[in-house]
Chain A
Amino acid sequence: MIRSAGWILWKDITLELRGRELLLPAGVFGLVIAMLYGFAFDPSKSGLHGMFPGLLWLGIFFASFLAVGRAFSIEADSAQQLLLAPIDRGALFVAKLALNVLLTLVLAAVMTPAFTVLLQTALPAEVGTFLVIEALGLVGFAAAGTAMGALAAQTRLRELLLPVLLLPFTSPLLLGVVSATSALYGPTPAAASSWIGLIAIFDVIFIVVPALLFEFLTEV
């Protein structure tokens, strides 16, 4: 199963490297968000720094959302052929999840420095913990995005329906990552650990539950 998942992932990465259909628009959109934030909120005012974790994560979620929503649309016209391949259906889910994790990680790697520069702030002192929060948060977003993307890809509205399906689910995740990041900026950075626990629970639920149910989606 891991082998077949690897091949599907490799196929999608090759397609992305040649076509640049996901990362390029989503990445540019991410930078546009940072610029618009700069216009909407005056970065020279000190009040903005308290809002930075929320602004950063909302920006990352919205940009990632563009990318993860399309992971299943890649095969919009050839889904049948992929399902006819003699491989475990679970491999397909694992491959798309891995693709989405990679996409969101690349996006965050571009957007985080851009946001800190354009909004005139700095990363928290404990960069290691910050990176752990980012990685866990993005895995959770990618997992929920993969599950909801699989559903939305089969609807008439495609990506139009995705925000309504996906974003309410990510509200506990958003609460977790923003609170954890804010704690790192605050006087007691250790307070982040309980929020990291919440993020980890979210990750586990949204990897395990959709993985168990994915089989049923491919039957019809």
Chain B
Amino acid sequence: MRYLRWVILPLWLAALYLALIWVPDERSLGVSYRIFYIHMGVAMSALIVLTVNFVISLLIVFMRGRREQLDHYAQATAEVGLLMTTATLASGMLWAKVAWGAYWTWDPRLTTTAILWFLYAGYLLLREAIDQPQKRIVYSAVYGLIVFIDVPIVYESVRWWSSIHPVVFTESGMNITPQMFIAVLFFFFAMILFSIDLIALRAKQQALREKLERLREKRLGDLGY
């Protein structure tokens, strides 16, 4: 995992070069559309990371073993997923101000993403509010299974309802040029590897914190407290 960071930095720089310099300006939106590459990268990462959170929640609820270790990843994926959702909303709002003339509209894609943000913010608050570890693990996993309902809805929202949000992946292929697709791909890999790195780091930190907690209790016990 340590070597992953040596890949992420050059990939980031390459993605920035491709998105900001290499691809040409868009015909009607000009230079402002370039935020699309960041937006697409963080949005795809958000949906993927939250899907991983769902799979981990499934494992916690339906499998008996290794719940503590899995739970570290459940917390880490929810946090990184929320971070990526925040970045998606922020980059989208900046673009919307230029393209649509307003930071926010109640478009289905935007609305479902805002709900997604609140659901996972609630997930993290729920974790925070349960003291007993076993209870926290199972309760947040059950909540994680329920909140995931919104993730496919966010993805399909532009296809189900009439939305003004642009669609990239459609049944008849992709709505972007091959050159744009390369830049999208670079940004996507930069963001998803960055997410993986953050998740690994956060999960390890959780594990270390628990180990420290156990050692402290043992030491206090040895001293007779």
Contact = CB atoms under 8 A, between A and B. Distances in A.
Contacts of B134: 220
Residue in A152, A155, A156, A205 with the greatest tally of chain B CB atoms within 10 Å: A155
A164 B135 contact: no
B146 A210 contact: yes
B131 interface: yes
Contact of B119 (A157, A161, A168, A210): A168
Contacts of A156: 129-131
A217 B137 CA distance: 10
Contacts of A171: 111, 115
A165 interface: yes
Q: How large is the interface on A (under 10, 10 to 19, 20 to 34, 35 or more residues)?
A: 20 to 34
A122 B121 CA distance: 39
Nearest to B129: A155
B61 A151 contact: no
Interface in B125-146: 125-126, 129-132, 134-135, 137-139, 142-143, 145-146
A117 interface: no
A116 interface: no
A37 interface: no
A151 B126 contact: yes
Contact of B122 (A154, A164, A209): A164
B118 interface: yes
A39 interface: no
A147 interface: yes
A165 B130 contact: no
B146 A213 contact: yes
Given A169-B119, A213-B142, A213-B146, A220 B135 contact: yes
Given A156-B129, A164-B121, A164-B125, A217 B139 contact: yes
B120 to A, nearest CB: 10
Contacts of B139: 151, 154, 217, 220
B122 A168 contact: yes
Interface of A is mostly: helix
Given A156-B130, A220-B134, A220-B138, A165 B61 contact: no
A168 B118 contact: yes
A126 interface: no
A217 B125 CA distance: 18
Given A161-B126, A164-B125, A165-B126, A151 B142 contact: yes
Contacts of B122: 164-165, 168
B131 to A, nearest CB: 6
Interface of B: 61, 111, 115, 118-119, 121-122, 125-126, 129-132, 134-135, 137-139, 142-143, 145-146, 149
Given A152-B126, A216-B142, 5 more contacts: A155-B129, A156-B130, A165-B143, A168-B119, A220-B135
Cβ-closest 5 pairs across A and B: A155-B129, A168-B118, A157-B129, A220-B138, A220-B134
